Amino acid sequence: MDDAAKWKAVIACDKEYDGVFYYAVKTTGIFCRPSCPSKPPKRKNVLFFNDPAEAEADDFRPCKRCRPDQQKGDQLNARLVENTKQFLQENYWKPLSIHEIAIHIQVSPFHLGRVFKAHTSATPHAYVERLRIEQAKHFLRHTSHTNTYICYHVGFQNAASFYQAFKRHTSQTPKQYRKEHNHVLC
């Protein structure tokens, strides 16, 4: 990307280039993201850098408005979602409330729910339910365990919620699913 294209991105406050490059203003000694909402500087006073470390090495300090020295919110939220997914995958069989998940992830329950749903289109509860159903399907296909054993083994608290969730996700009862897909009993 040449300097003319970078300058065009700065003038447009284009978020697409955040993290791709940074610009510094000689007269202020500050460096920014391309999307910084501050008043555009004069072109003759601008230098471009590939990362914040380069700008800081040239004695520029980060803008307090766009915080180019910190990760973008989207990156932080994506990491929060990945950490949550990993935690849920490792603990799907346990009874988990949004509060317990949030404590482990170290964010508020409200923030966790909002960010998780924005990135996955599902609540943490719905995501855990999907994990439990996938595991139940695996057991139904590959073992001869009873439906009741599978229900509790994958983390459901009672048979009624297991049967309702299973039917909602597969349009079949566990018994119907096993009859159609079981490889052990064939």
Listed by start position, the domains of the chain span: 3-62, 71-186
Choosing among 1.10.1740.10, 3.40.10.10, 3.40.1190.20, 1.10.357.10, the CATH entry for 3-62 is 3.40.10.10
For residues 43, 47, 51, 52, the Cα torsion angle rounded to the nearest 10 degrees is -100
DSSP 168: H
pTM comes to: 0.62
Q: How far apart are alpha carbons 88 and 63 in whole angstroms?
A: 37
Q: Let me know if 151 is a catalytic residue.
A: no
Q: What superfamily does domain 71-186 belong to in CATH?
A: Homeodomain-like (1.10.10.60)
- Position 49: which residue type? F
Give per-10-residue mean pLDDT for the chain (186 aa): 91 87 95 90 95 93 87 74 95 95 91 90 96 97 95 96 97 95 67
Cα–Cα distance list, 179 to 18, 95, 144, 163 (Å): 53, 29, 11, 15
Task: Tell me which of 32, 63, 66, 151 is the catalytic residue.
Answer: 32
Nearest CA to 16 out of 57, 60, 72 is that of 72
